[in-house]
Structure 1
Amino acid sequence: MEKVIWVRSFEKSLGSKENDGLSMVNKYLEEGWKVKHISACSMSDSTISGQAYIVIEKDAD
């Protein structure tokens, strides 16, 4: 089984308190899922904001 999770990084100076998705990734990793693929890129012209998608997988029991 596979899942795709979007992760976003924001400029903290803007006061953004949105969920970046990393807590969800960490939860799955703690449950035994493994990272299969990560792809990342920048967001707009910002050098400190970006986004990624992470493909995780777990063997079917």
Structure 2
Amino acid sequence: MEKIVWVKSNMRTIGAKEDDGLATVNKYLEEGWKVKHISACAMGDSVVLGQAYVVIEKEDN
């Protein structure tokens, strides 16, 4: 089984806790999922903002 999780930079809101998607990725990794692929890119013309998607997989038993 595969899942895709979007992760985005939240540098724009320094000091504010915003869901960036990393907690979701970490939760799956703790449950035994493995990272299959990561792709990342900048957001617009910004040099500090970015987004990525992480493809995770878990073998069906």
Give me the TM-score of the superposition, normalised by structure 1: 0.89
Alpha-carbon distance in structure 2 between the residues aligned to 1:42 and 1:7: 12
Gaps of 5+ in 1: none
| Shift in alpha-carbon separation, 1:44–1:15, aligned structure 2, 3 A | farther
Residues 10-58 of structure 1: CA deviation (Å, up to 9, x unaligned): 2245555320000000000000000000000000111111000000000
- 1:19 and 1:34 map into 2 onto residues whose CA distance is 21
Flag the 1:47–1:6 CA change in 2: closer, same or farther, 3 A. Answer: same
Unmatched 5+ residue regions in structure 2?
none
Distance 1:7 1:13, change over 3 A: closer
State the partner residue of 1:19: 19
Q: Which residue of 2 aligns with 1:54?
A: 54
CA RMSD of superposed structures (Å)? 1.5
Would you identify which runs of 4 or more consecutive aligned residues in structure 1 move more than 3 Å? 12-17
What amino acid sits opposite 1:41 in the alignment?
C
